[in-house]
Structure 1
C-alpha cells in the first residue's frame, strides 16, 4: 500500500460510550469521575473479581458504614457470599487512594482503614493501597475487648484460608489483571531502591533476577518461590528466604540462561529482608499464565523508567503492536524481525500471533483437542521450539535493552535466542558472525519495528551513509522527477547526516524478501507530509516491492 495516508484517530464520540473524564465502574456499571484515585479503585475491583474470585454481587463500592456517631464511606466492601449487604455482614474492607497519599497520612492512611475495620464487628481482613503501596491486615481479638491489626502478606481469595493466602499453592496462583501486576512490580522496585541504597538501574536488574526465578519456579513440579509472614517480618528469619531464593536462582536460572546472566550476576545482591518482601509481593501471581499484554505493560513500564536512554527509544503501546501484527498476519513458517527491538514488544506480539496458528494446527490433529497424549504434546512443544529457533529475530544497539528483551521473551513463551546486540544500520560485514549467519539481506518475511528517531541522534558516519540511497542528496527537475546528485567524478553526493529513522526504512527494505516480504513501521509523521522529505516518498513509490504499512508516530503517541 505505498503512499498510505497517515493514521488518524476519530474525534467523534461514539453513541453510548463513556464521556471524556468519566469511567464506568467495573462492579456497578455506573458512570463515575475518572480521577487518579478512581484509577486505583477500578484496578482493585477487577482484581477482587478476576484474581481473588469474589462474585461481583458480593462486592459493593462506596458502601456507607457507621463509625461512632458519624457515617463514612468505604471504597470497597466484600460481603459473605450471598449475604445481605449490611455492615454486620462485611467481611473485607478495601481503601484505595491516589498515588501521592502516604500510608502514614493522618486521616487517609492505614489508620483510617483500621478504624473502619474496628467499627465493623465481623470484618476479618482489610487492604489499603494507593497502587504503589499496599498493606493487608488481619483483625485479631486482643482478649481485652478491643482489636489488634496484624499485617499479612495478602487477603484471602474466595474459598481460601488465611494460611493459603500467605503461601499459595499452584492452584491458588492468580492470573494478573488490569494494572495490578504493574503495581506489584513498582512496589518491589521502589522497596529495593529505598532499602538498598542502589541506583534505579541496579535495583531494576536485581528485581529481574527475582522475576526470572519466579518464572522458572512455576515451571518446576513443586513451588519453592515463597517467603513466609515470619520471614517477611524479621530480618533474622528472612535469611532462610534469601538462601532458598538464591539456590533457585543459581540452579534454575543462571545455568539455563548463560547468555543473560554472566558469572558476575550469580549473586542476588539484596538484603534478606528485601528479598523476602519482594518475593511475597510476587509469589501469589502466575507469571506464566498471566496475559501477554498485562505482563508487557508491567514489564515495559519498569524497563522504560530505568533503561530508556537518549537515542529516541519509544516503547510502542500494545494496541499499536496488535494492530500492526494483525495486518501483517505472520505465519509459523515465516521469519519475523524487529531491527530495533528495544524490549521486544513487537516481537512478542508477532511470535504469539504465529504460535496461535501452531497451537491450533497441532490440536486439530489430536484425538482429544483439549488434552493431547504425551507424544502429541511433545510434538507441539517441538514445533514451538523449532519456530523460536528458526523464525524469531531481533536486533538492538543498546546492550541493556537487548538483555531486557531476552528476559521479556522468556516471560512470554521464549524466543530469546534470536536476539542480537548490534548496530542494524552498520554494513552487515561489520556484524558478528552469528548475526550474519542468522540474518542476511533479503531473507526476512515480516518486519515490525518502531525505530529510534530524531535529529538529536543523527547518523553522520560516511561508511554507514554510503550504503543507502536515502542518504544521498536528491534533486528534482522541472518535470518533477527526482534523481540522486553525482559529483564530477561520478560519485554520489551524500548528506552530512540523517536522523536514523530514514535509514531504518531503507535497511528494512534491504532485509525483506523481494516480492513477498512485508513490513509495518512506526515513523514520525513528518516523513509522510513534510515537503523536505518528499524525496523519501518518491523513493518509496518507485522502488517499493512490498506491501507496507507506515504508522504515523503522532497517532501512536495520542
Structure 2
C-alpha cells in the first residue's frame, strides 16, 4: 500500500519541502512504499529509487511543484536522463520537455540537498549548464532546498552566469517573470516558514557571509543581521501592496544592481533607527546577492513569533556558544525565573546585563501569550506591542551584543528602542544621560544574570566610582557580581519591585561575604533561592556553581520580622553537562513554590 502523506515530526510537516511532497502524494504523481524507503515518480516513465537520501526529498518536492504549481504535464517530465556528449557520462535529475515524445528539452533541473556550501552550489550550477547546453534546453534551474536559481540557458552565451539569471522559471511554457514575489498577490506573495526552514536559511546566510573564514565570525554575524534588518524592513513597510518586493533577485539583474537596491533599503532603515546599526553594509555584491537568494522567499514578518524566536535563538546560541557564552543564559533557567516572577503587562521591566535579550524576550512572550488568551485579537496586539515599546529596558556593556539584542527584539516585532550599550555599574547619572528612562527606584521587575569573576579596581576607574556603592565604599577593588546586587536593588521600585538574579553560591555561603548578605537582607525580602547544578552554565563557557535568588525590595521604612524563604535544589534542569536535552525538575519546583506562596506557614 502506498502512503498518502509523509510521516514526519509536527514542525517538519510545516516545511515547504514536506508540504510539496504531501501535495504530490495526494495528487498521485508520486508514491511511497509503506516504510518510506522507496519513492516512485509517475511521469514519462515510472521511475523508482531510494527515498532515504535528503537530495531525493528535494527532487520529490520540486517535481511536485513543476506539475502542480508550474503546470507542466506530468507525462512530459522525465528523470535520471542520460545526457549526450558529456564526458564523463552524466544524468540530469529532472528534464521537462516541450513535446509528448520527450525529445525536445525545455528545462533541465539539478537537485541538491538543503545546506550545501556556496562552492558546492556553484559546482551544481556548472553541472546544470553542462547538461542544459548538451540537451539544448531553453531553461536551467538549480534547487538546493529553499535556495534556487533559474537561468535563461538559450538566450545567452554558454559562459554567462549573471545576466541570464531569471526570477523564476516560466509557468506552463510561458514567459519568465520579471520578479517572482509580489506583495499582496495571493499566488505570488511570500510564504510563512517552519522553524527548520528558517534555521536552515539563517545558517546558509551565515556560511555565505563568513566565506569560510574570510571575515571574523562576529563580523559575519553582524552583516547577516544587517541584511535580516533590510528583509524585515522591506516586508513591513518598504514595499507597497501590489508591487514586487525589493528584497529579491529579478530577471537579468546583476549582483551589483541587487546589492544597490538592498543598500537603499538599509539606508532608509538607518535614518529611521540609527541606534541599531551605525556602519554601512560591508559585503561584496555577489555575497549580498547570495544571501538575498537564501532569504527572498521567506515571509519573516508573517511567520509566527514563537517560530522566529526559537529559530533566531538557536542560530545565535549555536553560533556564539563557546565564543561568547557569557552573554547567553540557557532557556530553561530563563523560562523558570520568568514564570516564577509572573510578569504583567503593566510591569516596567529591566535587565541591566541583558546580553542577547533572553530574559526580556521571555517576559515579552509571557505578556503576549497572556494578552492573546485574555483579550480579543486587536486588544491583545495593542497590549503587547505597547509593552514591548514602552516597558522593556536593557543595558549591555558589549556594543556588538547590544546590537544582537536589538536585532533579536526586532525579529520578535520590536521592543529594541530601550536597549542601550553602556556599563551598568557606572554612575547612575551617566546612564540617565544616555537614556532618561533608566532611573533609580523605577522598575517593578528585574531579571539578570550578571557577569561573574571580574574585579573593579578603584585605581582604574574615575574618582568615587566604588564609593557610590555601600558594597564598594572605602575599598580598593570589588567583584562585579557584588556591585551588581546593589545596582539591581537601586533600580527597583521600593515596596513592590521584585527581582530574580543568577548569583555565584559563594555570595550565599562564604563567611567573608557576610556583609554582602547583610546589605541584601537589609534592603530586600528574600522570597526564594533555587540551587542550580555545577554544570548549569558549563557548556556556555562558565562553570561557577550558582543559584537563582528571588527577592522583593522593601519600602523605605519597612520592617519585616522573621519570615520563611522557599528553598529548593534543582539537579535536573532540562539539559545535561554537554548541553543535550535531559529531564527537567524546574516545573515541579515552580509548582511547589506556588503551594508555598499559598500557605507559607505549612512549609515551616
Q: What is the TM-score with the length of structure 2 in the denominator? A: 0.60
Q: Give the corresponding residue for 1:516.
A: 496
Q: 1:525 to 1:71 in 2, by over 3 A?
A: farther
Secondary structure class of the residue paired with 2:424: coil
Q: Give the corresponding residue for 2:478.
A: 497
Q: Give the corresponding residue for 2:458.
A: 461
Secondary structure class of the residue paired with 2:457: coil
Q: Are positions 1:333 and 2:346 aligned together?
A: yes
Equivalent residues in 2 for 1:34-433, closer than 5 Å: 47-48=15-16, 54=22, 63-64=37-38, 72=50, 74-75=52-53, 76=57, 77=60, 126-130=111-115, 150-152=141-143, 167-170=180-183, 171=186, 172-194=189-211, 197-220=214-237, 221-222=240-241, 223-228=244-249, 237-251=254-268, 253-262=269-278, 265=279, 267-300=280-313, 313-358=326-371, 363=376, 381=382, 386-433=386-433
- Shift of the alpha carbon at 1:445? 0.8
- Shift of the alpha carbon at 1:52? 5.7
Q: Are positions 1:545 and 2:513 aligned together?
A: no
Q: Which 5+ residue runs of structure 2 have no aligned equivalent?
A: 42-46, 69-73, 80-87, 96-101, 149-167, 172-176, 538-572, 577-604
- Shift of the alpha carbon at 1:501? 2.6
Q: Are positions 1:446 and 2:445 aligned together?
A: yes
| Greater relative CO (CA pairs within 8 A, separation 6+) | 1
- Shift of the alpha carbon at 1:279? 0.6
- Shift of the alpha carbon at 1:229? 6.9
CA deviations over 1:218-248 (Å, ceiling 9, x no partner):
11334523433756xxxx7222212222222
Q: CA RMSD in A?
A: 5.0
> Whole-Å Cα distance in 1 between the matches of residues 21 and 528 of structure 2?
44
- Shift of the alpha carbon at 1:408? 2.1
> Whole-Å Cα distance in 2 between the matches of residues 461 and 306 of structure 1?
36
Secondary structure class of the residue paired with 1:417: coil
- Shift of the alpha carbon at 1:392? 1.3
> Whole-Å Cα distance in 2 between the matches of residues 470 and 537 of structure 1?
10
**Alignment length (residue pairs):** 452
Q: 1:328 to 1:433 in 2, by over 3 A?
A: same
> Whole-Å Cα distance in 1 between the matches of residues 90 and 15 of structure 2?
19
> Whole-Å Cα distance in 2 between the matches of residues 494 and 56 of structure 1?
73
> Whole-Å Cα distance in 1 between the matches of residues 410 and 290 of structure 2?
24
Q: 1:279 to 1:312 in 2, by over 3 A?
A: closer
> Whole-Å Cα distance in 2 between the matches of residues 318 and 218 of structure 1?
29
Q: 1:167 to 1:28 in 2, by over 3 A?
A: same
Most deviating of 548-557 and 390-399 = 548-557
- Shift of the alpha carbon at 1:180? 3.1
Q: 1:421 to 1:291 in 2, by over 3 A?
A: same
> Whole-Å Cα distance in 2 between the matches of residues 132 and 156 of structure 1?
11
Q: 1:156 to 1:429 in 2, by over 3 A?
A: closer
Q: 1:530 to 1:151 in 2, by over 3 A?
A: farther
Secondary structure class of the residue paired with 2:500: strand
Q: What is the TM-score with the length of structure 1 in the denominator? A: 0.65
Task: Answer yes or no: is the 8 Å Cα contact 1:192–1:203 preserved in 2.
Answer: yes
> Whole-Å Cα distance in 1 between the matches of residues 24 and 511 of structure 2?
56
Secondary structure class of the residue paired with 1:341: coil
> Whole-Å Cα distance in 2 between the matches of residues 427 and 176 of structure 1?
45
Q: 1:92 to 1:312 in 2, by over 3 A?
A: farther
> Whole-Å Cα distance in 2 between the matches of residues 311 and 199 of structure 1?
13
Structure with higher Rg: it is: 2
CA deviations over 1:355-412 (Å, ceiling 9, x no partner):
444556652xxxxx5xx6xxx89xx64x556434431111111122222222222221
- Shift of the alpha carbon at 1:27? 5.3
CA deviations over 1:4-53 (Å, ceiling 9, x no partner):
xxxxxxxxxxxxxxxxxxxxxx95469xxxxxxxxxxx986652467768
> Whole-Å Cα distance in 2 between the matches of residues 452 and 328 of structure 1?
21
